[in-house]
Amino acid sequence: MPRSVTVLLPAHDEAEAIASVIAGCLEHTPDLHEVVVVDDGSRDETAKIAVQAGARVLSLAENRGKGAALAYAQPYLRGDVVVLLDADGQDDPSEIPLLVDALTEEVELVIGSRFLGTFEPGAISGLNRVGTQAINGLFNLAFRAKVTDTQAGFRALRRDTFQGLRIHARHYDIETDMLCQIVARGGQVVEVPVVRSPREAGTTDFSRVRDGLRIVKRIALTRLGVR
């Protein structure tokens, strides 16, 4: 039986990229039910453009962070499967079917792994690559796992799984928060190779030091059973 799909895009000041990302989701997502954009207090016309492009928009009055935006969206999603996708154009919506197909009954989370796939030139800096691999190593050591891309934002999971997560992260530690919860309870995680492209427009507010420390703290707290 076909499963309906919600594509969920957290977005902050992504007016330049959001329309093309939504168009790709509408074109390439099998059994698409909706594209939902969480406008995280954008100062530009992200919300207006997203509506014009065909998305349903949930709006936050102020910028709360990626994790807070995803937590806000949890009760409002309608598809059987939730695909998480960054709104900056670095993930390729044509690869959404790869993640949805890999979400079998036994699997709780599918990650689109950039390290199993390809980074196009300019898609990641050397420092970010090294930092992500270090976090991968720490996570795998802590949880005796073999995840190649713990920080990938391109993911698929069932709606009930997503809505059942107790999201504590408010910022870019959200990917780690989700993954830690699922792995800690013995949930099965699979990865599929994807292509990562350079950012289409705009800039990221990710901080290697601040957000890196948040991620490390999230791993430690979950491993120690402290939330």
pLDDT in tens, 110-168: 999 999 999 999 888 888 899 999 999 999 999 999 999 999 999 999 999 999 999 99
Q: Where are the domains of the chain?
A: 5-223
Q: pTM of the predicted model, to two decimals?
A: 0.94
CATH number (3.90.550.10, 3.40.50.1100, 2.60.40.60, 3.30.360.10) of 5-223 reads 3.90.550.10
- pLDDT at residue 168 in the model: 92
Side chain identity at 34, as an amino acid letter? E
Average pLDDT taken over every residue of the chain: 94
For residue 40, the cross-strand partners are 60
Kindly tell me the burial class for residue 91, based on how many C-beta atoms sit within 10 Å of its own C-beta (0-12, 13-18, 19 or more).
buried
CA distance 100 to 48: 28
Q: What is the DSSP letter of 133?
A: H
The answer on pLDDT for 227 being more than 60 is no
Q: What mean pLDDT comes out for the span 208-226? A: 82
Contact 227/221 with Cβ under 8 angstroms?
A: yes
Q: Could you tell me the two tokens for 196?
A: 């990562």
The answer on pLDDT for 226 being more than 70 is no
For 32-61, write each residue's pLDDT tens digit: 999 999 999 999 999 999 999 999 999 999
